[in-house]
Structures are given as C-alpha cells and as structure tokens.
C-alpha cells in the first residue's frame, strides 16, 4: 500500500474504457491493518468479462518484496513480471515467465519524486503489452490530474510514464 498500485490500475482502467467494450478494476487489500499488501486487478476486453477476479494473470507489476512473495507463483507460464528492483533485492524464482526488472523507484527519484515510480512501471507495462497506446494513457493521466486540480504535476507524471516506456538500456530477461 502507498506505492500507487490502485492509482495505476485505475488509470489503466480509465484509459481502457475508451478502447475496450468491457473493463473491470478490482482493488484487493490484505487483512493486515497497516503495511499489508495491496493488489489491483484490471481486465480490458472486447468480450464480456465473466469474472473480474484474476487468479492467473498474464502480466503483473510488482512493487515490493511482500507482493513478490505473495503473487509470484500466480503468473501464468509464459506471462511477464515487471518489478521494481529498487525495492526488491531477491531473484525471481520462476524461469517460465519473462522478467522485466526496472529500478523504477531510483529512476523516479532521478526525475524528482519517488512518488511517480508507479508510472515508470506502468510505462514498462504499456511497452511490453501494447494493450493501449502510451498516448491514450497520457491523455487520461492529464485529464485526471486536471480534474484533481494538479495540473502542475502533469510534466513530471508524463516524463515518468515515458521513462518506463522507453527503458533504454534496461536488462530484460
């Protein structure tokens, strides 16, 4: 919790509503009062979504070690795992998935705020999946920030999204 996973999922879902007929966004909180894991499940589909719960995701973004420990085994074989290596100092135990390590917190700090590390990871997700164009997500991000009277944050947020999307010179397994 507190790393922007719900915001990231909601941004993806809102952008997806413009291009997909059916969208679901389901937040999930662990039973722990404070410091527990938070997950967010997003489904974008042109077919009816029979269940919004996802037990075997194709792609996951993982932002911290407790989440990696909890969810690593659930990714479908052949799927992808995008993770913040600034926050996770252990190797992924799977060899049947694509691993996209990204020091997103460090990259976000270099941009001026660790609070945009979630957008760095979202950019990497967009580059990997091509499920939505980065431009579609940028428009949704800009509109969301304007609605919340946070226009001054638009340049930093767009820069973070682009940073993850372009991930030049990153080590991808």
Q: Where are the beta strands (DSSP E) in 46-161?
A: 59-62, 80-84, 98-102
* Structure confidence by residue, pLDDT tens digits, 42-75: 999 999 999 888 889 999 999 999 889 989 999 9
Q: What is the pLDDT of residue 27?
A: 86
DSSP 3-state assignment of 145?
helix
Average pLDDT over residues 117-125: 96
**95 is written with which tokens?**
């060899």
b/e map 121-153, b = 16+ CB within 10 Å: bbbbbbbbeebbebebbbebbbebbeeeeeeee
* Structure confidence by residue, pLDDT tens digits, 12-49: 999 999 999 999 999 887 655 556 678 889 999 999 99
pTM, full prediction: 0.90
């Amino acid at each position: 919790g507190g790393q922007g996973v719900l915001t990231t999922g909601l941004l993806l879902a809102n952008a997806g509503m413009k291009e997909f007929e059916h969208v679901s966004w389901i937040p999930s909180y662990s039973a722990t009062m404070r410091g527990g894991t938070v997950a967010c499940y997003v489904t974008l589909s042109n077919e009816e979504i029979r269940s919004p719960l996802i037990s075997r995701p194709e792609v996951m973004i993982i932002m911290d070690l407790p989440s990696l420990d909890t969810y690593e085994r659930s990714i479908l074989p052949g799927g992808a795992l995008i993770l913040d290596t600034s926050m996770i100092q252990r190797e992924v135990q799977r060899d049947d998935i694509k691993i996209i390590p990204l020091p997103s917190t460090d990259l976000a700090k270099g941009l001026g705020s660790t609070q945009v590390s979630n957008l760095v990871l979202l950019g990497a997700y967009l580059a990997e999946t091509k499920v939505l164009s980065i431009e579609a997500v940028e428009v949704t991000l800009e509109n969301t920030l304007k609605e919340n009277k946070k226009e001054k944050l638009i340049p930093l947020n767009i820069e973070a999204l682009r940073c993850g999307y372009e991930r030049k010179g990153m080590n991808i397994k």
